[in-house]
Every structure is written in structure tokens, then in C-alpha cells.
Chain A
Amino acid sequence: MHLASGNGRLMIGGIRFDQNQTYASAWSPKASMLYKINKQHRIRLSIGQGFKAPDFRQLYLNFTNAAAGSYSVFGTAQAQKVIGQLNSLGQIGTLYNNYYQLKALQPEYATGTHLTWEFEPNAKSFYSFQLFRNDIRNLIEVQQVGAYVTGAQIYSYLNIGRAFTTGLEIEAKHQLTKQFSISAAYQYLETGDKDQLAQIKNGTVYTRDANGLSRKLNVSEYVGLPNNSSHKAQLKFNYSNQNGLFGNIRALYRSKWAVNNTNGNEVYDAGDSFAKGYVALHLSIGKDYTNGIGFQFGCDNMLNYIDALNLPNLPGRTFFATLKIQKSKKI
């Protein structure tokens, strides 16, 4: 939907409606604005609502882990029925209050605002600065809803949280010569659970001092949602010439992130256990020939950074080589 334009201003609005038989329907309105100050400067503003539907696992999972204490996870579509049957067989020990709150999962709603300033001083350089804020409602979270007679836990999913993510992103690209270019990106991110923040401000969240004695947690010690790093950066050198030779080296940095809640409260704070920040360096070199044959080799994670506990998907230093043959007929 094109609303208005003129004087370098452009406004676009849109709305999406999703309907599904299992979960509630959702509207996703969005509005964005582009304002061209001059040839070099552009301002973008977008405000929109998005949603994430509950996935198959959250709805239909029926899983009991016999290898680890026989705990169970039931998707919300069947949790009350299955647990009710188990209860009539005398297998349920306790049901928590949140068991009675189980109902059809609502999609997660996120309201996002993004303000971007793009600066293109010349044809070789591009810079962009973005401020963003997302407010998430109905965060889907796994929770223990009861226990078997044996004490093994029973989990299901509930819509509970009010969370936010906010921060800034900086991006820069520069063409150094005809062959060499460099690009860099940086993100600063803050996250949090609004309900937990309110509890901390009320003085009802505790932590322990160096001697193990309880004290009140300060807001400044709160780190927000787990698995999120405050700082992320990427630096990339790129080379490519007219003969099809190309190469690039990428450095990715990620600062520490909270992984486990270990200090005896229900929020993630400075006293919990963190995965260490790290740099991963990747290199690749290759050549494409005009006859459709190309090869590439390189090395991922050159610094051989390994953190098997927190980064199972980052293997150690990995060398690779690929050969591709492409045949195409001219039509």
C-alpha cells in the first residue's frame, strides 16, 4: 500500500492476516518511511508487528526421556488430556498451578521499531547506523507443570513473558581498489524480561555475595535473556579480480553470553555462568573459470577456537576443498 510520496519522502504501509486451524489468527501490520535528505543521506523508519506461530514441538510433542530421569515434555495441544489420563492411572504425584493455566498457545507477538540512517559519501563507501527496539509479548516458554509419583518432572509450554530487545547496529563497506574491498559490522544488544526487571526493582530478587550470603540483586547486574551477547562484530576483507580469482578472510567476534543460571535465583545476572567471548577466523580462496569449472579451498576456524560445551556446532580448525563443474546449454 503506497500512501504518500514527494519531496524525497516515501511511505509504505502493509498488513498481513494469517489464519490457522490450530492456533489463533494474527494480524501483522507494518508501516515504513523513507526520507531522502539528499544524494548522500537517507533516513528509514519502520514500525511493524510480527508474530511467530507455535511450532510442531510446542503443540504436539509427547516425549519421555528414559535415559535422563524419565522426565516428560508434552505439547500444549494434548498436555491436559495426556496428563489427565496419567492422573487417572495414579501416576501423577503433583500438578502445579500453571498446569491449570495450560491452554491453546498464542503466537508470539513482536512490535519492532527500526530507525536507520544511511550515508553514502561516494560510490565506493557506504555506512549505515541503526537503532532498534523490539517488544515481545506472549513469549513461549517451557515450564515444569507437575511431577510423576516418582518425582520425575513433567514439562509443557506456556505463553508468559514480556520481553524486549534493543540496541544499535553499525555497518560500513568500502571499496579500496578495483580488487580489494573491506566491510565491517557491529551490533550492541540489550535484552530483558520486563517482569523480572520489575521484580529486581521491587527488591524481591536475591543473589549471593563473595561469602555466599544472600543480598538483593542490583538492576545493573541483570544480563537479560540467556544466549545473547552484548557485542557482536564482523570484519571481512574481500578480493576478486577479472580472471575469476577470489579470496576472503572473515573475523567474527562474539562477547560472552549467559548459559546457565547457577547462583540461586531465577534471573540471569553477573553471578551466573557464562560462555567466554571468542573470535573465529575463516579464510577461503578460489578461482572460477569461464568454462564452468571452479575450485575453492580454505580453512574455517583458523584459530582453532573450541568450546564443546557451549558451541557444539563450532568444530575445531577445518580445512576444506571444493570442485564444481557446471555445464549449461545455450538456448
Chain B
Amino acid sequence: MRQIVKPFLLLLALSSILFSCTKDEATVALPVTAITVSNLPADTVLGINAVTGMPFSAGKYTFYSLEKNAIVPNTDSASTKWDLAFAGSKILTNGGTSGIGLGGAFIYTGLFDDVKTISNDSVFKTDNAPASFAVTFGSGKGWYVYDQLTSLITPLAGRVLVIRTASGKYAKVEIINYYKGGVTLPITASDSDKLSKQRYYTFRYAYQPNGSKTF
């Protein structure tokens, strides 16, 4: 009896391995590689108003396409060509009050590499200006902290912006730095450096073009 059972079990085991192999190959998409974007200007400070003493900028967003990995001209702001828009520490998604796309986002606490699949019960928020934004705005509330004492903005470690793009696809973004050259200025830097070298984003992202929620 034993002699018959053993080969039968082996056959069963083999067939299950074969079966699972073919199934995996059919559904697993190509791995998504992370792309790093450096020194993306986001409404940088142009100077200081001689009368009010306040810094001023052009007051314009920088629109970005995660699909194309490129800046989108401001003339296309009312289109679905862009996925994220940056101005100062504010980040918009192309949806809700900000755009005509399907865009939305939420902030995940954890590591970039740990966001492998967006679970189906995850809730994407949409922009609802001026009350709330999908990428929460404000020190300590979203992706950064602002230190009153040093006037420096530091992106919080362990925060991933999970993005639904204008066309309804998915991406994950980690903001790495907010200063020109990708290095936060020292506390002792001059006030003029702290103003002129801020608002330059360095971030990495992974974009899933096939529409699935898996990276």
C-alpha cells in the first residue's frame, strides 16, 4: 500500500507547482521601476518686496505628468495631461476643485518599498479647496514639518503619497527634499539662502501604467 501512496503524493505535489507557476506568469505585471526627479522648481521665491518686506514669487504652479515624467506647460492646466501640481509646500492632484481629471491621493505612513499593493479599502481623498487637499497641507499634518526656529522645511521620513493620476491610474511618491541641490540647508544658512534655495523638489516615484493597484 505504501509503495502506491508515495508516487501519488509526489505527482500531486508536482502538479500543484506546475499549476501555480503558470497562474503567476499570467497575472504578474512587469515590475515598476522608481524614477527620481531632482530640483523641480515649485513657485520659487523671486525676491523681497521693498515696501512690505515680504518675499514674493510668480504665484504659479508647476504641473507635472507622472506618466510622461515631464513638466506640463501652465497653458494645459485645465487638462488631464498633468497629475501633480507644486507651489511652495502645496501639492495638488488633478481632481476635485483642482482639475478635471480623476486625481486623488492619501498619505501612507511607512516605507516606499512597503507600498506593494494599494488595498481596496484605501480611501482616496480629492482636493476641496480651500478647506482640504488630498495631499494634506500644513506643518506636521502631511508630508513635511516646518520649524519656526530655523525657518526650514523638512520632509517627514516614512511618508508615501499614494496618488491616483488624472487618468485614474496609480502611483506612489516619496518627497526626498525641498531645497535646491537636494540637500536641506544648514540651520546657520543666511535668511536670503533659506528663501531663494527653497521650493525645489527632489522626489522619487513609481507609476503603474497598466491601471492595477500593484507596484
Q: A: which residues have CB within 8 A of B?
A: 68-69, 71, 144, 147, 151, 153, 204-208, 211-216, 260-265, 273, 309
Contact = CB atoms under 8 A, between A and B. Distances in A.
Contacts of A213: 112, 174, 176, 204
A277 B201 CA distance: 34
Q: Which 3 A-B pairs have the closest CB atoms?
A: A206-B158, A206-B157, A212-B176
Interface string B188-213: 10000000000000101000000000
Given A213-B204, A214-B174, A260 B147 contact: yes
26 contacts: A71-B148, A151-B138, A153-B148, A204-B158, A206-B157, A208-B157, A208-B176, A211-B176, A212-B202, A213-B174, A213-B204, A214-B111, A214-B157, A216-B158, A260-B147, A260-B187, A262-B150, A262-B154, A263-B157, A264-B144, A264-B145, A264-B155, A264-B157, A265-B156, A265-B157, A265-B158
Given A213-B174, A262-B154, A206 B187 contact: no
Nearest to B145: A264
B187 A68 contact: no
B214 interface: no
A309 B159 CA distance: 31
B69 to A, nearest CB: 19
Contact of B177 (A69, A144, A212, A260): A212
A101 B12 CA distance: 62
A69 B151 CA distance: 11
A260 B150 contact: yes
A262 B187 CA distance: 9
B80 interface: no
Interface in B133-177: 138, 140, 144-145, 147-150, 152, 154-159, 174, 176-177
Contacts of B109: 204
Contacts of A68: 148
A214 B154 contact: no
A273 B187 contact: yes
A273 B176 CA distance: 18
Contacts of A208: 157, 176
A207 B188 CA distance: 22
B184 interface: yes
B182 interface: yes
A69 B168 CA distance: 40
Contacts of B148: 68-69, 71, 153
Given A262-B152, A263-B154, 17 more contacts: A69-B148, A144-B140, A153-B148, A205-B158, A206-B111, A206-B158, A208-B176, A211-B176, A212-B177, A214-B111, A215-B111, A260-B149, A262-B147, A262-B154, A264-B144, A264-B157, A309-B187
A208 B188 CA distance: 21
A208 B204 CA distance: 14
Given A69-B148, A260-B147, A260-B150, A214 B158 contact: yes
A261 B150 CA distance: 10
Interface in B105-151: 109, 111-112, 138, 140, 144-145, 147-150
A214 B147 contact: no
A68 B147 CA distance: 12
B185 to A, nearest CB: 10
A65 B77 CA distance: 39
Given A263-B157, A264-B154, A309 B177 contact: no
B158 A212 contact: no
A261 to B, nearest CB: 8
